[in-house]
Each structure stands twice: as C-alpha cells, then as structure tokens.
Structure 1
Amino acid sequence: MVHPMSRHPLHDGWQLTAAGGPVPETIAGRTVPAQVPGSAHLDLLAAGLIPDPYLDRAEEELAWAHRAHWRYTTTVHAEPAAPTERVDLVFEGLDTVATVELGAHRLGETANMHRTHRFGVRDLLTTGEPQPLTVTFRSALEYAREIAGRLEPRPHTNFHPYNMVRKMACSFGWDWGPDLQTAGIWKPVRLERWHTARLAQVRPLITVTEDGTGRAEVHAVIERSGLEAAGDLVLTATVAGHHARTVVPAGTDTATVTVEVPDPALWWPAGYGDQPLYDLDVTLAPAGTDSGALDAYAKRIGFRTLVLDTAPDATGTPFTFVVNGTRIFAKGANWIPDDHFLTRIDRPRLRRRVQQALDAHMNMLRVWGGGIYETDDFYEICDETGVLVWQDFLLACAAYPEEEPLWSEFEAEARENITRLAPHPSLVLWNGGNENLWGWRDWGWQERLAGRTWGLRYYTELFPALLAELDPTRPYADGSPYTPDAHVDLVHPNEADHGTRHEWEVWNRKDYTTYRDHIPRFCSEFGFQGPPNWPTLTTWIHDERPLTPTSPALLLHQKAEDGNGKLERGLAPHLPHPERFPDWHWATQLNQARAVAFGIEHFRSWWPRTAGTLVWQLNDCWPVVSWAAVDSEERRKPLWYALRHAFAPRLLTVQPRDGGTALVAVNDTGEPWRARLRLERRSFSGEVLVTDTISLSVAARSASTVELDAALTAPVDAEREVLVAAADEVRTVHTFGPDRGLGYDPAALSADAGAVPGGYRVTVTAASFARDVSVLADRVAPDAEVDDQLVTLLAGESHTFTVRTGADVDPDLFTDPEVLSSVNSLHGAAVRG
C-alpha cells in the first residue's frame, strides 16, 4: 500500500510570553495570543500592549525590544507514528535565534531566518497524548554581538552588527527603515508524515535548445525513510502532455529526468512579448505499482533563453541582458521588503505592487541584498507578468566574516534558495551582494580589517561554485556595483565603463544635472528622496501643528544622514524656496520626480551603450521620507508618474551632444517609429518664434539622435521661452534654464471640476506656459487617486484629470491652490511668502 505524504499545518493555539530581557512591567509575565506566521511586535500590538510601531516616535519607545527574549508555545496533537512512518516537524522560517523543544526534548537551535529547519520527531510521538511545542527566541542583537566578539568586529553601516547573524539586515534599521528588530515564527510550520521516501529537493533547470525544443531537466534529491527495505522508485515528470520517467534504484538518493517539449511558446519580458507558462508536475512512486505517489511537486515554468553579455567592447565592459536572442533595456527599480513586518505581506499586496511597476513601464525588479529572499508569491507574480528579477544574495553594505558559524549558514541558505527559485523564468541574475566590493575599495575597510576576512570568498568562490553545481542556466555577478572579470583590487567596482554602477554622488553631494557626467553600462542604483504622500504622512505623524520638516516625529521618519539638508540643497538650484509646509511637501516631492526622471532620460538616450537603469527604490516598508516611488500606504508619489513618463515605450528627450543640444528619440518597441517630428521655439505666452519639421525614423529597440537647428536652441529671452518637440502622441518640452529663474505666471491656470461616475474630473486650462501640473487628489480624500500628474501645458492648452475616489466631496476642493499644484504655484507661493 502506498502512503502519500501528508502535511498538517501547526498554526493554531500559539501563545506568546516574554522570556527575558528589559521587558516593561506591563508586558512581563503576560501571556497573549500569538499569530503564526507572525512576529512578537504584531502580537503585542494586537493585545494592546504596545503602540503601533510606525506611529509618531513609537520606534524609540520600543528600543527595549532589541534585547528582549520571547517564547512561543502551542500544543501538538499527533498520533503515534506507524511502524514504517517518518514524522518531521518543519519550520519554513524562524526569525532568528531560536531553540525548539517538543515536550521535554530539545530538538535543536537555529540562527538563520533565511532557511528551512526540519526536525525528526517520530520517536517523540509515542503515546498520542498532547505535547507542548515551544520555540524560544533570544535577542538576535545580543547573539550578533557575541559572534562579533568571538570573530572580531567587521565594518558595517548603521548602528548594529547585522553582518554577524543571518537575519534580514534592514531589521536593524536602514536609511529608509525603522530599527524594529523582529522575532517570531515568520513562515509556515507543519508536521509532515511520510513513508518509504520523499522528495527532499526538486530542482528544475529550464532551457531551450538551438532547434527550439524546450527542455525541463528535473534534478531530484530523495530521502528514504530507512524504516523499511529500500526498493526501486520511479521519478516521473510531465510538461504540456509530454512525459519522462526514470527508475531510482534502491540505495540511490538522487535522480534526473528530462522532459522535452517541441516548439514551446517562448516566455518574454514585459513589453517584448507574452508570458506563456506550462505546468510541471513531478511525482515519486514505488516501482512496479500503480497505486499512487509517495510525494509530488508542481510548479509553473516558462521556456526562454538567457545570456548576460559582458564581452569587452570598444568602450569597456557591457552588462546587457539578452532574452530569446533579443537585447533588453532594463527599465526598473530596486525592491525592498514591502512591510517591515513581513507576515503582513500577502499575495494580493504583492500583485498590486508588481502591477504598479508594470504600469510605470518597468520590466525589472532587483531584490536587494539587505532584505529577504521573497516568497514564492512574488516570483510567481513576476513570472505571470513578465517582470524580470535580479536576485541578490543577502549581503549588504558590510564586511562579512568567512569563518564559522557564518560560512555554513551562507552555504545552507544559498543552496536552499537557489533550488527553490530555479523554476522561475523571471529570475535572470544572481548577484553576490550589495556594495560590499565597493566598501572594500573606498570605505576605509582595509585598514580596519587588518587582514581579517570580509566576504570576498563568498562572492568569488562559494556562490559561483554553488550556481555551477545547482543552476548553471543563469548568469552571476560578484556584486553590485561590479566590474566583470576583474579583481576588486585592480579595477574599481564602480567604474562607469564597466559592468554595473551605483550613482549616489547626486543625492549625497552633487546636483542632479551631474547625472550626465557619466555614461554607465548599467546603472543598478540611483535615486533621490521625497516625503510620502500627504495622507500617509499626516496619518502616522502627529507633531504639534503646524508641521515643519524638522518636527521631531517627522525627523524620526527621515532616516538618511543629513536627509533634510540634502533635500534642501537638492531643491535650491531648481525650484523656489517654499516657506509653508504644504509647499515644502509638494516642492520636495516634485524635485524627487524631476531628479530621477532627468537621470533616466540621460541613461536611456545612450542605449545600447547603457543597457539598464534601476531606480532606488520602488516601494517603502513603513511611512518615511525616502527614495520610494510608492509609499507604504500604497499611494503613488509624483515620482511614480515621472517614472511612467520617463520609461514610456517611446521617448523624446533633449540632451547635450558634441558641445551642442540635440534631440534623442528612443524607441523601445518592436516596430520602427516613423513620424513627422514637429519642432518649435515658442514664448511662454504662446507665440511661435521658430518652427521646423523633420522626418523621424527610429528602428525598433533603438535610439536615434537628431541634430537641431541653432535657431531652435538659441532663445532670445531664455526666461520666457521653451523648445517643444512632438512626434505622434509623444512630446517633450525643454526650458532654457532652471525653473526658479524662469518667468512663470503664478496665475496661469484656471480649472473647473465636477463629479463623474466613480469620482471627479478636473479640467485645467493654461493661459501661459505651465509646467508639471498636478492634482494632489489625496489631500482632499485619502483614497483619491488621479490618473496622471506632472502634465506640462502650453499657453491655451487644457487637460482633464480623472480622480477616482469613494468620497463625497465638494468638487471645487480639487481646484484649491494646495491641491492643484505646478511649478507655477511654487512661484506664487514664493511671492506670497
């Protein structure tokens, strides 16, 4: 008789108690219901014992939790094991330093939240009586400090030695995240009961041969029970009606079976084609019987070819993804955990966030190395939508010891996650870590380390060897930024002409116009800060009114070093200085959008020399002043609209070339772009001063530079003239100086608003040139969302915005000066003082 694998979740009946540390009297000795998966902070919040950690200055009030210890308990009701039955207790994720006990038996200890832990409990289930299951978490911070003392400290950013424990680095705080060090059973826990054998690992490697045949090469690791005579097994794989099977002889614990699918439909990145997926089903059964499977595995896969072109060229070293033979310009963003409290992130939320990336014309997300290996939901959604995934191994901004216990933990977590993510067509790169090679070169590490290990062998030995063994189908980079095929001591990892580059001089020290000083081969990080949207900010921050940029709680929600100073210095050359807080809020959001869009247009104009631009960052994990395009309440900041414009499939952008000014037409579609290019120099008041018409022809997936007549680019009155270029429905408007010095009419706009089904329409008309016209609709109703922002109007033009909201409000509120905003309105605010 075949006994199939059975899995019994153990998510009910858990309770939480403080087990030690500086716990407040109001919590010590209390037992509260615990949600599993979950975390101690969320259980205490649900019990009303702590304030919401994101509210005002609660983060400071909860600093005691850094050194607290916690105990989770429940009762396991399980029948004794049958004579040939194995029973395993499986934790998919424990955060982080834990001791697991069943009854009076200690099962083991863990110190890595990024891997699964499995404990055999067959011999402990002897009576069928209920038994207590206890998981005790000690302070991860205290553990990390102990390891640092044992191995000697290594350089890291921020305040805590997060590089000494395998816990999400940003759990210890980051320059956009709170210092709220979580603890808990953060992934599912279950009892598995099985006989004979189980599929311990299934690792599908999906490729396409030169003749177009799809191959699903399924590698399996099999664990036998050891409680009965070993017999032959059969491993079977099925894809699209095609089957393959192999016999696994007794005594053998690995097997490979390959399914071939003739001429499968190819999987493409978003914007390049469709994303057909096929069901892969794998079963393990005893040989010589048709009575059923012992264990099974199912995934959806996609067939595509993948190459990362890093072959040296005349400029340096490219970094270009090639999918199905087509060179891809990567348009995307960096991804951080979407909530600091990870168990609040569900599949619908991830789908909304990935859709926001798609709606902004993105085709790539980089899972950053200071967070987590995301859940299966994330990668499955990216598979379904065509969003390419760049996956960091989880090392960020620190020197990591290569000694035990860390080496073995890195190897175990890497093995597990390489295997887990192998089926996903969206995954196109494994990356060694974030900014660690750069840190070694430039951040003073070498002197501080004095010869101690810092992680180089992870990037150049361990991870490449594991990928060669487990997944040779995908490219690997030692780190980001990174110069391919060059030792970190010989070639700087952040060289613009080689590999990947992080551009942080702009935010930290220089004006955003200096993005044009470099032409990177692939810019994998760059960005600029701005506050969250108005209702997000005012929901979570309640400093005495009126709010100011230096209100105490707002400053706690500004984590960047000298963040407000950098906001002010970045704003000063470009926009009028705002005196009132609502104007500061709009101006800094607008300047964030402007800065990032400026960089994107520059990078895109240099395709194919530059082959990718990943903004820092798409999302936020809590309400904070940050680089995100979407804030923690899922509201799209002005930056998001700027990304949608700058990443549009077809783009016109005015750029410096050869000492002059040129127009670059970028065509990121599969069809040639042929159109009449209309060029005008006109006054703010609408007078057309110079015109020209050119036949535009841009090949598919390419960029073309158009020389401009000097009469178009030489204004008579630079403060009151613009250059306008339009082809089909694509337009760009170029000013001849920074906005703060231009002659904008603060009263240029008139508006009319009215109700429509599902919301409101706001029609705005410009009597004079008006730039970046926006309806900040969520200042009127928190759920309000507008269809577009940052719309530039020439004199005499109108635009209708559509606002979606369930609120019943006076439509004229959408035309209020604090809602209907633009560059012109900032000039008006400056006049008003």
Structure 2
Amino acid sequence: MRYSLIVVVLLCLGCQEQYDLPDIMELTEGWAFKNTKDTLWLPATVPGNVHTDLLDNGLINDPFIGNNEKEVQWVSQDNWEYKTTFHLSDETLLKANKSLEFEGLDTYASVYLNDSLLVKTANAFRRWSIDVSSVLKNQNALRIVFENPSTYETTEKQQLGYELPEGNRVFTRKAQFQYGWDWGPTLNTMGNWRPVKLIANNDLRITEHSVNMLQLNDSIAKLSLQLELRNNKVSDYSYEMYVNDSLVTTVTDELTYTPMTIPFEINKPKRWWPHNLGEPYLYDLKLKIKEGRTVLDSVQFKFGLRSIELVTDKDTIGETFYFKINGESVYAKGANYIPQHSFQNKVQLSDYETLLNDVVNANMNMLRVWGGGIYENDEFYELCDEKGIMVWQDFMFACAMYPGDKDFLNNVQQEAIDNVKHLRDHPSLVLWCGNNESNEGWHNWGWQADRSEEEKTAIWNDYLKLFDSILPSVVKDYSGNVPYWESSPKYGRGNPKYQYEGDAHDWWVWHAAYPFEHFEDHVPRFMSEFGFQSFPSVEVLEYIQQDDSLDLGSETILNHQKHIRGFQLIEEYMARDYPVPKQPEDYVYMSQLLQANGITKGIEAHT
C-alpha cells in the first residue's frame, strides 16, 4: 500500500507544469548621471529625466515657481550621461537569447553596454530591442549619452535649404510641447523617460499580441489571436488559450512561425460600450505556450469586443462627422487631453485614476489625446477601457509642417508602427488622427507667404507623404478596424466649410475675441477643440509667487502666462459682461466665472 501511494504521488508530480519562462529584469537601481563636461556622478532615477534628477540633487530650483523656468534653459543645451551596473547569474547568462529593451529614450541617445556601442537613437516615441547575447557578462556596465537636440536640429535645417513652420522642433521626434506652447512652459528635457529592461529566454518569447475580430453578432464572436514570436527552433509547441479562465482552444503546431494566428470563438458575446450607453465589458485572455509540460512563455491581457465606424457621408449641407459604436450612433462629449505634467515620471497611477474618474463623473465619454504631447502610458488606456471612455488618438505632430526626407519618414513610419501595434488591443481607442492643426496652419496661418511655388509644392508634397500615405497605411495594416483622420480640424475657421464638414476647432472665441454668443450662432458638425482661459486658483498663484500677497501684475505671474494676449483677452471679455474687480482674489474668481460662462455656452450650443 505504501509503494502504491508513492507511485501515485510520482505520477501526479509528473503531470505538473514546469516553467522555462523568460527572465525579465527592470533596470531601475544604481543609476547615476552627470553633465558630460563634469566628472562628478550624482544619483539618478530611471524612468525619469535630467530636469527631475537635477531638481532631486538640489542643482536647480523648481521650474514651476517664480521665474525659475528661465534659469533652467541651459539644461537643454548641454549633453548628459547616465550609467548603471547590473549583475547576471550564470543561469541567466546561459539563456539562449538576451535583449535590452528601451521603452523610451528622449531623444538623441548613444547606448553602450560594456563599452560596446549598441545603438544610436533619434526618436523618443520608439521602442528599441537590442540583442546583447554576445556582449553580456556576469557584471555589466550600461552607459547612455544624451545629446542636446539643437545640434541635430541646426544641421537638419541647414541641409533642408528653407525654413519649415514652426521652428526647429519639427526635426526632432519628441514631445513638441516641451519646446513651449501657449499653455505651458519651455522645459525641453532628456533622459530614460520610460522603463529599461533586460529580457533573457531560451527557446521562445512572445513579443507582440493582438486580437483580431472577424465576425461579431449577438450569437457569436469569431476572433483570432495574432502572435509575434522570437523563437530559436521549430518544435512541437502547444498553445493553450483561456478566456475568463475557461479553456477555449488548444492548438499543436509542428511548425512555429511568426506571426502566428490562433482562431477562437466566444458564444453570446458581450460588447464593450462607452459608459453612458452600456457596460464597457472586458474579457480576460490568457495564453500559454508549452513544449511538452514546460511552459515557455505566457501572456495575459484584457480586450473588448466592439465595432467602430467614423461616419463621413455627404448630405445636403456638407459632410457628416460622427461615430458609431456597435452600430449605434454616439453623441461624443468630452475634452482635449494634454500631458498631466511637463515631467512624465511625476504622473502616478493615482493621478490617472483621479482624472479619469472626473471624466466619467462629468458625463464625458471621449478624450482627444492631443498631438503636441505623448502617446500616453499604458495605465491611461487600460483605465479608459475599464471606465468606458473613448479615445481619439492623435499621432504626435502639431501646428507645424514636417520634413519629408527619407530618414525622417522612415523614422516616423517605425514610430507609428510601434505605437499602433502597442495600442491596438484597447477597445477604447476609436480614432487615429494624423496631426493637430497642421493642415489648417498651412492653409490659413500665412505659412505660404513669401515662398516660391516650387518651395510650397515641396512642403505640401512632404505633408501628403506623411499624413496622406504613410500614417493611414500603418493604421490600415496594424490597427484592425480603427479609422484614420488626416488632420484635426478638417478645415480651419477661416474656411466657411468648417461649420458643415468634418471636425472643427473654433477659436474665433478667445484667439479672435469673438463674443461667447458666437458659439450659439455657429455650431459645427463636431467641435473637437474650443476653449477659454482663466486664472488658476489663488492657492496655485500663491505657490507660484511664494508670497501670500497676491500681485497679478508681477513678473512672476506674467512669466506664467504663455499666450501673448492672454491677460488682455481675459480683461476684455470680463469688461463686456461683468464688473471688473480691483482686488486680485476677486479678479481671479471673476475670471473663473467668465470661463465657466463661455464654456457653458459652447457646450449647450451642441445639446
């Protein structure tokens, strides 16, 4: 009896799964940085950037206080070096494949591992995966040199032969708002702004995944899971897929290839809806890839089932612009979203939670991720999925015309592929848009003045290469069924068609000082951008001034106004409809009432 029990135990142990999963090491410890002109190394934080590292080490003052922003402009003109060391066990070193993964290097970076140059980068929005199997040792030294953008931008500008609107920022693929905007400071930073990882695996690793919807109705959803794999050998692998913890399919394939497609079905599927129309239902998918009883890799993520259509039909007055989700017309209500902080490493999960809860509580159902910022962190899109908030996603181009040389276009094409593939499983993502206001700027902002016909043709043809060819092709090839829109708005406010075709940015109010009643008399098909400025709270102003005695005319406050006529416009509008207070605290409050009145008129004009 005793021997029988031992046999049973051994048989059970033999049935258990074994694991040969990839080792993932996030390199967050032991980082130091310095100015390349110096010899003193100081502690650094990764992910992060040079400004916050300087701030943490007491080498610069808070750039959001007083006039400190002006005092830190030198940071962007210098070059900076980061380093760390990390140890690998013999077991990890024996793994067949080892790669360094950089999720975001801002921007012109030279990466060295054990004094070997691995890569030179020129795009803060791209992901970099480098095979380092032949370079790694037990003890390793990683070093990254970040060069200031202006050197590269000056060279590119000289080679072009003419000046592109709007300035040298167009040559560098990084967050455009860092160069300064009419709502924010000039803090053009550098650094490892997203995670750095070392990944080691033996025979196989999953590098990409996406769920493709082939058919969706009330009875059935026919789907396929597409995998991109990094594998060493052809073997008899098995694929086990679970949806909501239930096994839905097992596939055994003697030939493992990439991309790998695994079909599966869901009966009586639940759809994902914007939160005000239904439940934003999410399925949980888990996949295991096994060789025999050994799990080589697995992936787990959430996805939603929904159809999306951007309806742009000709009618008697122009052309429609609205979304259909699951065949139902959706009234979009929302806001434009800019980065929450000049320094992305300062944005925490709790900040995303608070902001997106406020979006839902305000009964908004859409956010437009504006093209002068960043492709947001994963947490943003995951929470939008969960909370039923639709996302209009701009590519990161704004208010400018961009180069059209081969190197720039190839760089941007890979940027687009990286980000479209990375975001394509999010049901909240309902539109990819090429740029913010570049089309409008070219046709309405005087950018064509004093240029030869040859020059204008060259600039416009370069625009079309990027926004009418490369980006829509990437979206078509990699995004599933998400539509593409060339530019927001379709027409600028200088074109009478802006009210009747496509989406509109109506800045007659604010920039052109039109009265708020203009919103009620000119209602476009889809208002994708409008607004009005006010002062922030008294507490924020006192923090900026570092003084309880509020002075709205101080140099400090004036430096924080980034619109050339901002305070003048606030006073002009205020004098039309309200008494103009003398006390600064009252003036601040009145500006907020003024803003609320204007925004209310704009919103109610569309209801």
Kindly tell me: are residues 250 and 217 of structure 1, through their superposed partners in 2, closer, same or farther at Cα, counting changes over 3 Å?
A: closer
Q: Distance in 1 between matches of 2:168 and 2:252?
A: 49
Partner of 1:90, secondary structure, is strand
Using the TM superposition, give the Cα deviation of residue 147 of structure 1 relative to its aligned residue in structure 2, in angstroms: 2.1
Q: Comparing both structures, which one devotes a greater share of its residues to strand? A: 1
Distance, in Å, in 2 between the alignment partners of 1:29 and 1:502 is: 50
Match of 1:553 among 553, 556, 561: 556
Alignment partner, residue 344 of structure 2? 342
Name the residue aligned to 1:396: 398
Equivalence for 1:307 = 309
Which structure ranks higher in relative contact order (CA pairs < 8 Å, sequence separation ≥ 6)?
2
**1:120 equivalenced with 2:131 (yes/no):** yes
After superposition, the CA RMSD in angstroms is 2.1
Q: How far apart are residue 551 of structure 1 and its match?
A: 1.4
In 2, distance between residues paired with 1:384 and 1:314? Answer: 39
- Say yes or no: does 1:592 pair with 2:598: no
* 2:86 aligned with 1:76: yes
Do the aligned residues in 2 keep the contact of 1:543 with 1:551 (CA within 8 Å)? Answer: no
The one of 35, 40, 43 aligned to 1:33: 43
1:49 aligned to 46, 52, 59, which one? 59
* Separation in 2, partners of 1:582, 1:101: 54
Are 2:139 and 1:136 equivalent residues in the alignment?
Answer: no
Q: Mapping of 1:277-296 within 5 angstroms?
A: 277-286=282-291, 289-292=292-295, 294-296=296-298
CA shift digits 1:15-40 (9 cap, x unpaired): 010014xxxxxxx4432110111111
Distance 2:496 2:173 in 1: 25
Tell me by how many angstroms 1:278 deviates: 1.0
Out of 527, 532, 535, the position equivalent to 1:528 is 532
Q: Distance in 1 between matches of 2:353 and 2:497?
A: 33
Q: Deviations over 1:218-251 (max 9, x none)?
A: 22222223xxx43344444332325234455547
1:111 alignment partner AA: A
Q: Give 1:400-411 correspondences, 5 Å limit.
A: 400-411=402-413
Match of 2:204 in 1: 197
What's the counterpart of residue 61 of structure 1?
A: 71
Per-residue deviation, residues 86-122 of structure 1 (Å, max 9, x unmatched): 1111111111110000112111111111121111111
**Pair 1:404–1:283, CA change in 2 (3 A):** farther
Q: How far apart, CA to CA, are the structure 2 residues paired with 1:493 and 1:254? A: 48
For 1:231, the aligned partner's letter is S
Partner of 1:108: 119
After superposition, the C-alpha distances for 1:653-689 in whole angstroms (9 at most, x for unaligned) are xxxxxxxxxxxxxxxxxxxxxxxxxxxxxxxxxxxxx
Per-residue CA deviation, residues 573-626 of structure 1 (Å, 9 max, x unaligned), is 11112222112111111111111110110122xxxxxxxxxxxxxxxxxxxxxx
1:704-783 alignment runs, 5 A limit: none
Which amino acid in the other structure matches residue 321 of structure 1? Answer: F
Q: What are the equivalent positions in structure 2 for 1:5-16 lying under 5 Å apart?
A: 5-16=22-33
Partner amino acid, structure 2, of 1:66: S
Distance 1:512 1:345, change over 3 A: same
Determine the C-alpha separation between the residues in 2 that align with 1:146 and 1:234. Answer: 53
**Structure 1 alignment gaps of length 5 or more:** 21-27, 605-833
Given that residues 93 and 136 in structure 2 are in contact (C-alpha distance below 8 angstroms), is that contact kept between their aligned partners in structure 1? no
Could you tell me which of 255, 258, 265 is aligned with 2:263?
258
Aligned partner of 1:451 in structure 2 is 457
Distance, in Å, in 1 between the alignment partners of 2:502 and 2:150 is 36
**CA separation in 2, counterparts of 1:29 and 1:515?**
59
Task: Assess if the C-alpha contact under 8 Å between 2:165 and 2:447 holds in 1.
Answer: no
> 2:163 & 2:393 partners in 1: Cα distance?
24
Q: CA deviation at 1:143?
A: 2.2
Task: Please show how residues 486-505 of structure 1 align to structure 2 within 5 Å.
Answer: 495-505=498-508
Structure 2 partner of 1:223: 230
Match for 1:139: what amino acid? N
Matched residue SS, 1:495: helix
2: distance between equivalents of 1:161 and 1:285?
A: 51
SS at match of 1:231: coil
What residue in structure 1 maps to residue 9 of structure 2?
none
Provide the rounded CA distance (Å) in 2 between the counterparts of 1:248 and 1:409.
Answer: 36
- SS at structure 2 position matched to 1:450: helix
Q: Tell me the secondary structure at the aligned position of residue 371 of structure 1.
A: coil
Equivalent of 1:93 in 77, 94, 104: 104
SS in 1 for 2:117: strand
* Aligned 8 A contact 2:114 2:136 in 1: no
SS, match of residue 100 in structure 1 = strand
Mapped contact 2:20–2:294 kept (Cα < 8 A): no
Between the aligned partners of 1:429 and 1:45, the Cα distance in structure 2 is 38
Q: Which has more radius of gyration?
A: 1
Report how far residue 319 of structure 1 moved: 1.1
Are 2:432 and 2:485, in contact at CA under 8 Å, matched by a contact in 1?
yes
Correspondence for 1:19 = 36
Deviation at 1:331, TM superposition (A): 0.7
Aligned-partner Cα distance in 2 for 1:71–1:57: 27
User: Which residue of structure 2 lines up, in the alignment, with residue 464 of structure 1?
Assistant: 472
- The verdict on how the C-alpha distance between 1:507 and 1:464 changes in structure 2, with shifts beyond 3 A counting, is same
Distance 1:262-1:72 versus aligned 2 partners, 3 A rule: same
Distance 2:371 2:250 in 1: 38
**CA separation in 2, counterparts of 1:337 and 1:186?**
14
Residues 509-559 of structure 1 deviation map (CA, whole Å, 9 limit, x = unaligned): 1122111232211000000001111111111224794502x3111111110
Q: How far is the alpha carbon of 1:394 from its aligned partner?
A: 0.8
Structure 2: which 5+ runs fail to align? 1-17
CA distance in 2: counterparts of 1:196 and 1:107, whole angstroms: 23
How much does 1:507 deviate? 0.7
2:523 maps to 1:519: yes
The 1-side partners of 2:564 and 2:294 are apart by 64
In structure 1, the partner of 2:510 is: 507
Q: Find the aligned partners of 2:74 and 2:87 in 1 and give their Cα distance.
A: 35
Between the aligned partners of 2:497 and 2:194, the Cα distance in structure 1 is 37
Aligned to 1:177: 184
Q: What is the CA distance between 1:412 and its match in structure 2?
A: 1.1
The 1:384–1:208 alpha-carbon spacing in structure 2 relative to 1, beyond 3 Å, is: farther
2:488 is matched with 480
* Conserved? CA contact 1:235–1:285, under 8 Å: yes
Q: In percent, how many aligned pairs have the same letter? A: 33
SS in structure 2 at match of 1:455: helix
**Paired residues for 1:613-628 under 5 Å:** none
Structure 2 CA distance for partners of 1:144 and 1:543, relative to 1, 3 Å:
farther
**What secondary structure does 1:466 align onto?**
helix
Greater share of residues in helix: 2
2:541 equivalent in structure 1: 537
How many Å separate the matches in 2 of 1:9 and 1:546?
A: 46
CA distance in 2: counterparts of 1:174 and 1:278, whole angstroms: 40
- Aligned residue pairs total 580
Residues 1:569 and 2:572 are matched in the alignment:
yes
SS at match of 1:109: strand
Q: In the alignment, is residue 155 of structure 1 matched against residue 164 of structure 2?
A: yes
CA 1:266–1:138 in structure 2 vs 1: closer, same or farther (change >3 Å)?
A: same
Query: Hey, what does 2:334 align to over in structure 1?
Result: 332
**8 A contact 2:306–2:326 mirrored in 1:** yes
> CA contact under 8 A between 1:206 and 1:423: conserved in structure 2?
no
- State TM-score, norm by structure 1: 0.67
